[in-house]
């Protein structure tokens, strides 16, 4: 027992001595400096004989969160923003004023106001910003960091917070008025609620939608920003003609709100004729077809309201002005575009008709039901008829008795024009066959042509044969069968036949074309033949008179020279000579007594052109009798020239 007491007493003395030494060290006693080093900001103190170092003093920034009531809270929501305050102290724990503090956090959770996230410390070293939920649906936990600089030393501090999704709801969606006339408008309004109060803390975009808006039959501003907790838009009807349910939704609002508008349907104002197909508004008699023709006409009408907008679901009745056609649909209902269609079939006789479209039960007062008529539609055979078959030649006398045409330069052209029983051009593509007993007609790929807008033409070339071996060779519709005429037998006169057939009925027409010679061989003056070798003596006249005489130019067959042959005076001496006309005109076979064209091909006699030659002289001083000489030349298109010499004596008065 005694030993234990001594040990305890020794331990007590040792502890007492240790405490005394520590007090002396703290007081700097002990007779001198024990080696302690005192630093400034950021310095430290080293204890002699010790093994550790104390942490140096440094600037600090600390964060605190408060709600709108000023109570400490780090719970953020769309309805409860927070104020974040950063307190900036220097190394000596004194406030640092006028320092810039930058706040940062996850922008998917929260945003700052001001949006830059910066603020200046006040005299107490405090800088603050407002923090709001990034969206009503944002949720989770995050950290706000505050960064600044004190005397060149960066300082950072942080604080954690939580974000709870904001549970908002819609109040009642109202429409004023809720019932609209056609094309009327109404104001839609809905409140955003946070519990029993309107939510006004943040701007919320509210979306309005409806079936009629989607279909383009109504308009509204689909996205509207709530103002003081209320979102409004104007709804305008554009022909919805039905009840329309309006739906509102927004991010962060779990349940949408709806209301129903009652919209009166627009009344039909008119029915319009749109089109007829075929576009030529012509169909053929039942069973007669025709190239590219149809027996059915399709007519389209459109029902519109007072604003010209199409109306769907409107009944329309159809009738026709002719009992010779059949309406296949006497009534129908307009489609989504307001259109309605009926078809009409032709009968067994040609006619013309219109279709009337009527809106039943639209009569008002003394006004009858709304109606309109289509354009006139014609029912024709669609086939060419004999009385409307025309044929013509651009030249009735080609340069062809003595020369062949060059392949690329036909001597002439033959044209046909065809029409049906109503005088309408036959359908495009109607085939025409050409035949000739002299030269060649048509083209290498076909002997004829197919019509465009009721007509077509082919080339006529001068070549063999020029002397048909027999009458009516080759056989053509023009020279055989009912209504035909035999080919002309006059030398140098070609018979060209054009025809078209549907396999049962054939229509045709012919024209006659001279193959003119290259030389004038049967020229006459008043029926008397001229000389080509010695000058033809015209007698004598005084200088004061003029010699005027007709010169008829005929080729070897007593036919006209080729159309366009140039006729002129040449080599005139002691006289002035003029020739009229200066070219051979387009001369068809004609009766020489009456001058009338003869399509039968039986006319006889000289067919050549007549040119008036006028010769005058100027008396010399003193007057001396002289003899004038000159030539009349005829140059064909191929360049062959015939020269006829003349002389005339002038006597003094």
**Res. 20: pLDDT tops 70:** no
Tell me, what's the pLDDT at 199? Answer: 85
pLDDT category at 280 given cuts 50, 70, 90 is: low
Confirm if 483 and 455 have CB atoms less than 8 A apart.
Answer: no
297, β-bridge pairs: 344
131, β-bridge pairs: 82, 112
Buried b / exposed e across 328-343, counting CB within 10 Å, b at 16+?
eeeebebeeebbbbbe
Collapsing DSSP states into helix, strand and coil, what is residue 218? strand
**Res. 584: pLDDT tops 70:** yes
pLDDT category at 242 given cuts 50, 70, 90 is: confident
**Res. 26: pLDDT tops 70:** no
Give me the percent of the chain exceeding a pLDDT of 90.
Answer: 65
Instruction: Count Cβ atoms below 10 Å from residue 233 Cβ, excluding itself.
Output: 19
Tell me, what's the pLDDT at 606? Answer: 96
pLDDT category at 253 given cuts 50, 70, 90 is: confident
- Report pLDDT digits (tens) over 211-229: 999 999 999 998 999 888 8
Average pLDDT of the chain, as a whole number: 87
**Res. 167: pLDDT tops 90:** no
Q: Region 321-338: what's the mean pLDDT?
A: 93
- Report pLDDT digits (tens) over 473-522: 999 999 998 889 999 999 999 999 999 988 788 999 999 999 999 999 99
Tell me, what's the pLDDT at 28? Answer: 39
Tell me, what's the pLDDT at 381? Answer: 73
- Report pLDDT digits (tens) over 586-595: 999 999 999 9
- Report pLDDT digits (tens) over 540-561: 999 999 999 999 999 999 999 9
**Res. 21: pLDDT tops 50:** no
Of 82, 77, 47, nearest to 63 by C-alpha is 82
Give me the percent of the chain exceeding a pLDDT of 70.
Answer: 91
Tell me, what's the pLDDT at 352? Answer: 87
Q: Region 403-430: what's the mean pLDDT?
A: 89
Tell whether the torsion through CA atoms of 60, 66, 71 and 73 is positive or negative: negative
Tell me, what's the pLDDT at 593? Answer: 92
The residue among 294 and 625 whose pLDDT is bigger is: 625
Instruction: Count Cβ atoms below 10 Å from residue 84 Cβ, excluding itself.
Output: 26
Tell me, what's the pLDDT at 445? Answer: 80
Q: Region 147-156: what's the mean pLDDT?
A: 93
- Report pLDDT digits (tens) over 36-62: 333 333 344 444 445 556 667 899 999
Which run of H or E residues covers position 148? Answer: strand 140-150
- Report pLDDT digits (tens) over 90-143: 999 999 999 999 999 999 999 999 999 999 999 999 999 999 988 777 888 999
**Res. 5: pLDDT tops 70:** no
Q: Region 574-598: what's the mean pLDDT?
A: 96
Q: Give the range among 307-311, 335-339, 457-461 with minimum mean pLDDT.
A: 307-311
**Res. 269: pLDDT tops 90:** no
- Cα–Cα distance for residue pair 486/471, rounded to 1 Å: 8
Tell me, what's the pLDDT at 18? Answer: 38
- Report pLDDT digits (tens) over 367-384: 899 999 999 888 877 788
Secondary structure of 62-91 in HEC code, one letter for each residue: EEEEECCCCCECCEEECCCCEEEEEEEECC
- Report pLDDT digits (tens) over 358-369: 999 988 888 899
**DSSP state string for 232-292:** EEEEEESS--S-EEEEEE-TTBSS-EEEEEEEPPPPEEEEEEEEEESTT-EEEPTT---TT
Tell me, what's the pLDDT at 166? Answer: 72
CA dist 484 → 233, 476, 480, 494 (Å):
84, 9, 5, 16
Residue 61 exposed, middle or buried by CB count within 10 Å (0-12, 13-18, 19+): buried
Residue 357 exposed, middle or buried by CB count within 10 Å (0-12, 13-18, 19+): buried
Tell me, what's the pLDDT at 341? Answer: 96
Of 270, 315, 312, 318, nearest to 298 by C-alpha is 318
- Residues contacting residue 365 through CB under 8 Å, at least 6 positions apart: none
**Residue positions counted in the chain:** 653
pLDDT category at 532 given cuts 50, 70, 90 is: very high
């Amino acid at each position: 027992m005694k030993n234990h007491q001594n040990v305890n007493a020794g331990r007590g003395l040792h502890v007492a001595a240790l405490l005394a030494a520590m007090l002396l060290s703290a007081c700097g006693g002990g007779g001198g400096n024990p080696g302690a080093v005192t630093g400034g900001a950021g310095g430290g103190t080293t204890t002699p004989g010790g093994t550790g170092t104390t942490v140096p003093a440094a600037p600090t920034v600390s964060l605190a969160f408060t709600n709108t009531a000023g109570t400490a809270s780090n719970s953020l929501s769309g309805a409860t923003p927070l104020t974040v305050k950063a307190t900036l102290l220097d190394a000596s724990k004194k406030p640092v004023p006028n320092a810039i503090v930058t706040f940062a956090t996850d922008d998917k959770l929260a945003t700052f106001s001001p949006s830059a996230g910066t603020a200046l410390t006040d005299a107490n070293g405090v800088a603050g910003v407002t923090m709001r939920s990034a969206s009503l649906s944002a949720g989770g936990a995050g950290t706000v960091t505050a960064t600044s600089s004190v005397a060149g030393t960066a300082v950072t501090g942080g604080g954690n917070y939580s974000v709870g999704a904001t549970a908002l709801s819609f109040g009642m969606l109202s429409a004023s008025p809720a019932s609209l006339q056609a094309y009327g408008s109404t104001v839609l309004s809905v409140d955003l609620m946070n519990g029993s109060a309107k939510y006004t803390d943040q701007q919320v975009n509210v979306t309005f939608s409806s079936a009629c808006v989607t279909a383009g039959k109504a308009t509204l501003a689909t996205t509207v920003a709530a103002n003081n907790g209320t979102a409004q838009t104007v709804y305008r009807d554009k022909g919805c003609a039905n009840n329309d349910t309006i739906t509102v939704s927004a991010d962060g609002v779990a349940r949408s709100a709806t209301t129903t508008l009652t919209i009166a349907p627009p009344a039909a104002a008119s029915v319009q004729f749109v089109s007829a197909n075929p576009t030529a508004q012509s169909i053929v008699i039942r069973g007669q077809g025709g190239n590219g023709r149809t027996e059915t006409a399709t007519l389209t009408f459109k029902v519109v309201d007072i604003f010209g907008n199409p109306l769907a679901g409107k009944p329309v009745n159809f009738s026709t002005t002719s009992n010779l056609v059949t309406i296949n649909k006497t009534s129908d209902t307009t489609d989504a575009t307001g259109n309605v269609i009926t078809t009409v079939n032709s009968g067994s006789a040609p006619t013309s008709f219109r279709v009337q479209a009527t809106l039943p039960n639209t009569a008002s007062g003394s006004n009858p039901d709304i109606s309109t008529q289509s354009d006139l539609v014609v029912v024709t055979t669609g086939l060419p008829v004999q009385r409307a078959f025309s044929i013509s030649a651009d030249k009735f006398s080609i340069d062809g008795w003595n020369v062949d045409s060059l392949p690329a330069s036909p001597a002439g052209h033959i044209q046909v024009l065809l029409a049906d029983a109503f005088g309408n051009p036959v359908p495009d593509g109607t085939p025409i066959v050409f035949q000739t007993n002299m030269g060649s007609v048509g083209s290498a790929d076909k002997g004829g042509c197919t019509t465009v807008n009721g007509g077509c033409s082919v080339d006529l070339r001068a070549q063999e044969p020029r002397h048909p071996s027999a009458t009516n060779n080759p056989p053509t519709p023009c020279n055989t069968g009912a209504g035909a005429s035999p080919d002309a037998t006059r030398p140098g006169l070609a018979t060209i036949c054009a025809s078209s057939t549907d396999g049962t009925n054939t229509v045709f027409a012919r024209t006659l074309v001279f193959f003119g010679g290259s030389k004038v061989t049967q020229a006459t003056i008043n029926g008397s033949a001229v000389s080509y070798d010695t000058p033809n003596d015209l007698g004598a006249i005084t200088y004061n008179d003029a010699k005027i005489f007709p010169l008829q130019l005929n080729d070897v067959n007593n036919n006209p020279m080729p159309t366009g042959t140039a006729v002129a005076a040449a080599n005139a001496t002691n006289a002035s000579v003029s020739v009229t006309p200066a070219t051979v005109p387009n001369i068809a076979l004609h009766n020489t007594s009456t001058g009338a064209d003869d399509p039968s091909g039986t006319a006889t006699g000289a067919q050549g052109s007549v040119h008036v030659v006028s010769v005058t002289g100027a008396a010399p001083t003193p007057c001396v009798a002289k003899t004038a000489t000159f030539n009349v030349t005829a140059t064909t298109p191929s360049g062959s020239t015939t020269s006829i010499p003349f002389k005339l004596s002038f006597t003094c008065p």
